[in-house]
Amino acid sequence: MKIVIVNYGSGNLRSVQKGFERVGAISEISDNPQIISDATHVVVPGVGAFSECMKNLERLHLIKPILGGIQAGKPYLGICLGLQILFSTSEEVAKATADGPRTYAAVGMGIIAGKVVRFARGGDKVPHMGWNRIKIEQKNPLFDGIPDHRFFYFVHSYYGQPEAPDWIAATTEHGIPFPSAVARGNLFACQFHPEKSQSAGLRLLANFTKRR
């Protein structure tokens, strides 16, 4: 087993690696396309801006090995931004115009048809930060041993909206119910941070290492 955590210039990489260490798994942080291609398990964590993430992945030639791994059925774990970039577009990019601010779509990897949207203004506090419960919507091996409605740790202002509801593995309430995890086959991605979510998050990481 070779777990590779993709380094595209985001922070939070070492905390993810420490999470795997705590469940007895060895992982490598890399921005080398060949090392990522050779991985048995690919992890894309991330905090920050959607468009900047995609630019860095392109600049480092990392999109092809990530997509190749997903298409080959390798276990993929996306965390926070690593979930959002799976979508077709994000409305995170805003530019000033003569008529006022206007939102432009940033293009993602397109694995999941749908878009990444911001929580509505005037609702619950944005960013959504802190502990919140997840409601498991579909059985998945990564949820083995994790009871429904467990708390996980979130830090985000945007969330993914898949066009096909069968992508949704878990939902969470923050003013509205939103998809907090998506899954299909060996692909699993979560808006919450398992590496910051104590025993439930560590169990999820351990379950990921068992995927083949």
Active site residues: 80, 193, 195
Whole-angstrom Cα distance, residue 136 to residue 150? 9
Whole-angstrom Cα distance, residue 14 to residue 37? 21
Q: Which residues contact 154 (CB under 8 A, 6 or more apart)?
A: 128, 129, 130, 131, 132, 172, 174, 180, 191, 192, 193
Phi, psi of 153 (to 5 degrees): -100, 130
Whole-angstrom Cα distance, residue 184 to residue 209? 17
186: which 2 tokens? Answer: 């060996």
